[in-house]
Each structure stands twice: as structure tokens, then as C-alpha cells.
Amino acid sequence: MGKCEQCIVRELSSLKALSKNELVHLADCKDTHLIKKGEVIFNEGDVINGVYCIKEGICKLVKMNSNGKDTILKLITKGELLGQTSILTQEKATLSAIAVEDMHVCFIPKTEILSFIDNNRNFSLEVTKDVCQNLNYATDFAINHTHKTVKERLALALLSILDSAGTDHEGYLNLQLSREEIASMVGTATESCIRLLSELKKAGIIDLKGKRIKINNIQNLKNLAQ
């Protein structure tokens, strides 16, 4: 059983507010799961009975619109938690979480999370902060999709992938999303996404090699995203 007090997720998430005794207890009550690329962690409408700690890998948070098309709202990566909002609101999941690469996650039962919230004020505050940050992110996402052009949103999406996954030794993004997935992040048709990626390549801002993408000029991409 892994030691929660030595885990990267504890250092980067609200779990950092737990005491050593609480972390030892956590190690005894958690379950660990290996999730393969493409597998669903939970679906929109599911009852979530705990919190998922992302130890390795990346997943996408997806919302299905009335036309049955998916929109990728956010990438969740190592050190982050899933399910805190549903635990606090006692509501069903409003999004689906799907692995975009192989993942290693730990699951903490709802009863344990609620106990920590009741008995540890600092943990309760950290969870509240996390939920507020998620709300701020959702607000920014809505504003960007209302006021920014498709090209500006594509720049934001590429920066988000860079932030989530980093680059390999050749400078290519570690996470290889399909053109359909990138289009889903941007909120546009796949054909438009492909055309705009080609435009960014012609401008020298990125390089393309199959599915692989290299950002040549981060500052130009940031300028475009603004």
C-alpha cells in the first residue's frame, strides 16, 4: 500500500492539509486503480461516492451538448483531485472524466472525505478553495468561448496541453491528442482545427509531425491567445 504522506498528490492538492495520522488512515482506506487510455473514470449523471486522486496520467473532463457532441472543458493531470464538488453539493456528476493516456489513480471514499471536512478546518478550507478555483475556471472558459476567435481558442488549447503534459526531448507535446479532441477543446469543427493548425505552422509558431505538435514560439502563441 502506497504511503499517502509521500505522494505527489498530497503535496499539490487539498490533501496537504491532512495530518500525518489522517494520511496514515487514508492509506488504509483508499483503493488504487490502473485506468487505460480511453476508459471512463465516471460518466455525466453518475453518483460519485468519493474523490479520485490523479497519481499518474491525464484525463479529459467532457460535457455532452444537446446535439450529442462532446466538448472537452479541461485536462486534469497528476497532482489534481476529481469529485470534490460533487461530494460537497451531493449532486450527480455534471461532466464525464475519460483517460487520454494510461493513468494511476487512488479512490478515497466519500465518508472519509466528509469526516476530514468535519474534523479538519484547514482541509475544509483547502477543499473550498479548490472548488472556487474550478468555478473561476468554468467562468473563464465560458467567457473565452463567447468572446475569443477560434484561432485564439486554439492557441489557448495548445497552451493548456503544454501546461498539462509538457514536452519530450525533441520539444513535441508529450500528450498526443487527436485533431478531433483538439477541435473539441476549441469548440470548432475538426476541419477548421486542421486548417488553423496549418496556418500556425506556416507562421512558424508550431511544427506538425503526424499527430505530434511542437510549439516553436511560446510567446507568439501567448500573444495570440490574449
What CA–CA distance (Å, rounded) separates 6 from 23? 9
- The answer to whether 51 and 83 are in contact (CB under 8 A) is yes
Output the pLDDT for position 9.
66
Output the pLDDT for position 190.
95
- The answer to whether 64 and 18 are in contact (CB under 8 A) is no
Q: Output DSSP code: residue 41.
A: E
- The answer to whether 42 and 97 are in contact (CB under 8 A) is yes
Q: How far is CA 6 from the centre of its chain?
A: 22
Helix (H, G, I), strand (E, B) or coil at 35: strand
Output the pLDDT for position 12.
66
What are the residue ranges of CATH 1.10.10.10 in the chain? 148-225
CATH architecture type of domain 148-225: Orthogonal Bundle (1.10)
What are the residue ranges of CATH 2.60.120.10 in the chain? 4-145
Please report, as a single letter, which amino acid is at residue 15: L
What CA–CA distance (Å, rounded) separates 70 from 96? 10
What CA–CA distance (Å, rounded) separates 112 from 49? 10
Among candidate residues 78, 47, 54, 73, the one with its CA nearest the CA of residue 62: 73
**Looking up cell 491528442, which residue turns up?**
177
Domain 4-145 has CATH 2.60.120.10: yes
**Could you read off the pLDDT tens digit of each residue along the chain, which spans 226 residues?**
457 777 766 676 888 898 889 888 888 889 999 999 999 999 999 999 999 999 999 999 999 877 767 899 999 999 899 998 888 888 999 999 999 999 999 999 999 999 999 999 999 999 999 889 888 988 888 888 888 999 999 999 999 999 999 999 999 999 999 999 999 999 999 999 999 999 999 999 999 998 899 999 999 999 999 8
Q: Output DSSP code: residue 79.
A: T
C-alpha cell at 59: 484525463
